[in-house]
Structures are given as C-alpha cells and as structure tokens.
Amino acid sequence: MSQENRDRAMPARPAELSREDAGCIITARWHTNPGPSDLTGPDEVVIRVADDAAPEIRESGVTSAVLHRIGRQVDDMVAEFHELPSVGGYQVMVRRYLEGRLAELAQARGAKAEGFESDLLAAFQDVAGRGHGDPLAALASATGRSREALDHLLEVARQRNDHDGHPA
C-alpha cells in the first residue's frame, strides 16, 4: 500500500462525531482521511433512538420525519470534521440543541404539567457542563427570554430542588 493510500485509510483526527436531535442520536463516521482539498461526507451514518427518548419517540422509532431532520445534523458534523469556519455556527448549533432539549423535556413531563423551570435548569446545567462560555445567553437565545427573566426562573427551579431535596 502506498504512503498516500495508507494516510487516507487511517484518519488523523477524530473519525466519529455524534449529535442528538429530538430523541434520536445521529453518529457520523469517517473511515478514511479526505485529500487536502476534499470535502467529504461521512462513510457511515448511524441513527438510533436515544435510551432516554420520550415513550412516543421510542414507539415510532426512526421515521421519515427523523430522516428529513438529520440532514442539518450531518451538515454540522461534516463542517466540524473538516474544521470549516462558520460565523455563528457554534451558537446556532447550541441554540438548536437547547430548543430540541427543552421540547423533549416538556414532552416527557407533559405539556400542561408544571416543571418548565426545572426543564430550563436541566438544559442550563447540560450546556454549562459541556463548557459553554455563556450558557445563560445561549438559553436566552433559544427561549427568546431575557437574561433577567431566566435568572429568576432558574432560581425558582433551584429553590424547588433544594426544597425537594434534589441537588441544584
């Protein structure tokens, strides 16, 4: 095998990227390195229902609606794999993630049930735990609420968690 073919056969950077979208996990895998000017998609895409997906999602599985949505996720992973600069791309990705996560949390607890503040806190802690520089701003962008309003709602959730004996 020539050196060039050997280099293409063994990826030099992470060869697997994943995203979660509405209860499904999308994983893209590259088995070969692209050439210096090649913009290649993954060699393999795996879609699976997340273990913690809402019951309705688990029942319906990977539907054509899911397949239509994953295109955006695959595009994001291709851009990340090829280290393409994108103005605001990270913020857009975080906003989309938060919007989807909040929708999943609301669906899991029932749209009319109390708990929106706890959903906000869970999403905030998720993004903060992933090292986002300003998770409150990301949450404000995803929800259309002011930082002050979110601060208040997050504090309500923390107080409820403290009262209920759950860690904040």
Residue-level pLDDT, tens digit, the chain, 168 residues:
444 544 444 455 558 888 888 788 999 998 876 665 566 788 999 999 999 888 988 899 998 888 877 877 887 787 777 766 454 566 677 777 888 888 777 777 765 557 788 888 988 988 888 777 778 888 887 777 888 888 988 998 898 877 666 554
pTM for the model: 0.45
- With tokens 């049930």, the residue in question is 113
For the CA atoms of 162, 111, 131, 145, the dihedral, rounded to the nearest 10 degrees, stands at: -90
Joined together, the tokens standing for residue 160 give 């409820």
SS3 labels along 32-57: CCCCCCCCCCCCEEEEEECCCCCHHH
Measure Cα distances from 166 to 72, 151, 155, 156, 162 in Å: 36, 19, 14, 13, 6
CB 74, CB 45: distance < 8 Å: yes
